[in-house]
Chain A
Amino acid sequence: MSNLIRPALVLTVAMTLLTGLVYPLAMTGLTQMVFPAQAAGSLVAQDGKVIGSSLIAQGFKEPGYFHPRPSLAGEGYDGALSGASNLGVTSKALIEAVGARVDAAGVVGTVPVDLVTASGSGLDPHVSPMAALVQVPRIAQARNLPEETVRALVQSHTEERILGFIGEPRVNVLMLNLALDDRKP
């Protein structure tokens, strides 16, 4: 038994140095040279100030902006406290929450399901193209823009499936809203 103790301890130290320090620190150094923007969290800056990350949803509430999916990350859209409802499909709380969101959405006709269900992370930066399009009338009215213009902007910000089949079509809400501000602040 005693001659099994030394390898156990030495291996623990050696592997800690190799996989716990050398590997992650080397990867940090390397990726900061090769992919600096991504390694730093895909931050978006405006006038030198960080206004968010293109990968993390923000809680847009004003009628003149596209709204993201509902969030249960912290108090909502907390970038340091990701979270979901984790409610089962037969949960009363879930059905009531979805009902309340449908009422609040103020959409004519049916609401796309992603717009009234909470995402897995609470930080989902995307909505489906349909969920963006149903918001167009509200934004056009608030900004006094023709609906056609807003709709065209949604279409130009729609990311299609990669190679036509990988992933789902989607619209990045923060980037779309920034484009909207660029067009008519």
Chain B
Amino acid sequence: MSPTDLLQILLFLALILAIAPFLGAYMARVFEGRVGFLAPAERAIYAACGTDASEEQSWSRYLGAVLLFNLAGFALLFGILLTQHWLPWNPAGMAPLDWDLAFNTAVSFVTNTNWQAYGGESTLSYFSQMVGLTVQNFVSAATGIAVAVAITRGIARRQARTLGNFTVDLTRGVLYILLPLSILVALALVWQGVPQNLAAYVDATTVEGAQQMLAQGPAASQIAIKQLGTNGGGFFSVNSAHPYENPTPISNLIQMVAILAIPAGLALTYGHMVGDKRQGWAIFAAMGVLFLAGFAVTYWAEMQGNPLLASLPVDQAAGNMEGKETRFGVVNSVLWAVSTTAASNGSVNAMHDSFTPLGGLVLLLNIQLGEIIYGGVGAGLYGMLLFVVLAVFIAGLMVGRTPEYLGKKIESREVKLAVLGMLSMPVGILGFGALAAVLPVALASVQDAGPHGLSEILYAYSSATGNNGSAFAGFGADTPYHNVMLGLAMILGRYAFIAAMLAVAGSLAAKKITPPSAGSFPTHGPLFVGLLIGTILIVGGLTFFPVLALGPIAEHLAMLAGTKF
């Protein structure tokens, strides 16, 4: 590794390590109601909603509030996408979306997936981007944070019936966390060159006399929240690879930090809220180890270049550059790719479809492990807590004790619910993926021949079920079949985890807390971190290794043997 590559990685890690504790502590104060600089706006919203901010909800009512709010958001966005030709701010004259694409896109943004079966600059009006998508960028992220906070309360409280108030948690998440940070990030992005206007597309006459249409739009305001909310849906088709969406190495660094800042911070918010910061750091550490391991493999693979080009007079010292931008090179493309798949963000600054087989394998696996390596805002934390439940259960089995977590007994109800939630991943990825691999109507979307074609299918259904949103973009996803099936996979992946974990939290909240004794298994030390990582890798590995062997691993071996498809 060159010294400059190493320094870039260290700078990125240092920034995350510096920001996460500060942000984590701040977010804990926000959700404990100890931040109030926008109290008048808060009060106005609660009054309009008819909500008493001090009135709390049981886990099932909290879940009901989440589902109804998301349903309302879906209906509004679906409506906007179907009628954008009648709405204002449409200088490029975009037509309405077909119903299947509108369904897929609305589900995608409401579930914080932000999978894009469309190209932004060739499909959507400025109104759809702002009033439709930007709004869901904020509230789907705030929904994830709210659910994570409610689940944290369930673990922290003793003999309680309630987990908090969804209206209050959502409002605070937007007002005190997402909106202020978005304003800062959007300003920094425009400074670096990201457009922010409502002007018509610019018709330029190039130096050689050709016509070049330059897409414009209110890009920076959407890109800021796209990263901070681990949404990932690009303003432009190629997302943050587009020089308007991510013009410089500085804008790239800002966006990468924005991807991981809140998910990493939330792991520490958790420690604050359960009253033991070490618990937060243990989760943070497990996430960090998996992140670094994934980065190391992908970086090594991409720096090897493409061995099938070795017979040509091409200097591949820069690594595998197909689908990558000059200003980022391999190191920033890989750092981004690992962050965006680990964090369920899904924005890209290089084309994952053109990564080497092993590089692509890590990205796939990051998603398939359940989006818990920092993970989506909120979703990463509650997904990780699901694995914590499984890990303490397995530890309990090994030593023959009743499993306990933070003084609460983990019993069969909690374990059953956790497993039920986790099963959404294999159903969505392997079940839906297998269907797509045999139905001719589905297979027509595959671009590449050979094992890489299977990887394309696998990536699409992993990305949808894991609510990631990145793609092996050669896969032609905009067909009625895939729009509907991928939409269903997104719904399954999002709400199975939310429902299962809120139910676990409801049942944990009602339990007594037994004080730790000499026989308690500590859940903050390296032993537990190791056990948690082991659980994640064994569950993920057992579930997905067979299909990964047929896709990326087979392609890697074919590549080494010099086979082309």
Contact = CB atoms under 8 A, between A and B. Distances in A.
B207 A40 contact: no
Given A8-B71, A28-B197, A90-B555, A50 B326 contact: no
B241 A84 contact: yes
Interface string B231-266: 000001110011110011110110000000000000
Contacts of B308: 89-90, 95
Interface in B38-80: 45, 48-51, 61, 64-65, 68-69, 71-73, 76
B315 A41 contact: no
A128 B326 contact: yes
Interface residues of B, number: 132
A121 B473 CA distance: 12
Nearest to A91: B448
Interface stretch (A75-83, A135-143, A144-152): A75-83
B120 to A, nearest CB: 9
A121 B187 contact: no
Contact of B242 (A52, A92, A123): A123
A5 B329 CA distance: 49
Interface residues of A, number: 101
Interface stretch (B131-139, B148-156, B276-284, B372-380): B131-139
A95 B306 CA distance: 9
Contacts of B329: 167-168
A18 B76 CA distance: 15
Given A19-B139, A50-B204, A80-B122, A38 B564 contact: no
A52 B473 contact: no
Given A4-B64, A95-B309, A88 B448 contact: yes
Interface in A6-28: 6-12, 14-16, 18-21, 23-24, 27-28
A6 B181 CA distance: 29
A117 B319 CA distance: 11
Interface string A46-64: 0001111101111111100
Interface stretch (B347-355, B487-495, B498-506): B347-355
Contact of B238 (A99, A120, A164): A120
Contacts of B207: 51-52, 58, 60, 65, 174, 177-178, 181
B444 to A, nearest CB: 16
A31 B188 CA distance: 10
Contacts of B306: 89
Contact of A110 (B51, B199, B315): B315
Given A84-B354, A87-B322, A38 B558 contact: no
Interface in A126-179: 126-128, 130, 161-162, 164-168, 170, 174, 177-178
Interface in A81-131: 81-92, 94-95, 98-99, 102, 109-114, 116-128, 130
B325 A35 contact: no
Contact of A40 (B49, B195, B247, B473): B195
B139 A90 contact: no
Interface string A31-43: 1101100111111
B197 A41 contact: yes
A9 B75 CA distance: 11
Nearest to B472: A86
Top 9 A-B pairs, shortest CB-CB distance: A167-B249, A120-B241, A86-B474, A88-B452, A168-B329, A86-B353, A7-B49, A8-B68, A20-B135
24 contacts: A23-B134, A27-B220, A28-B196, A28-B197, A35-B190, A50-B202, A50-B205, A77-B212, A84-B323, A85-B351, A87-B447, A88-B448, A89-B322, A95-B308, A110-B314, A113-B314, A119-B241, A120-B348, A121-B242, A121-B243, A124-B243, A166-B250, A167-B332, A170-B327
Given A65-B208, A124-B327, A126-B326, 18 more contacts: A12-B69, A15-B135, A16-B131, A18-B174, A20-B130, A27-B218, A31-B187, A40-B195, A42-B195, A52-B206, A53-B202, A55-B243, A56-B212, A91-B564, A121-B325, A128-B326, A166-B8, A167-B328
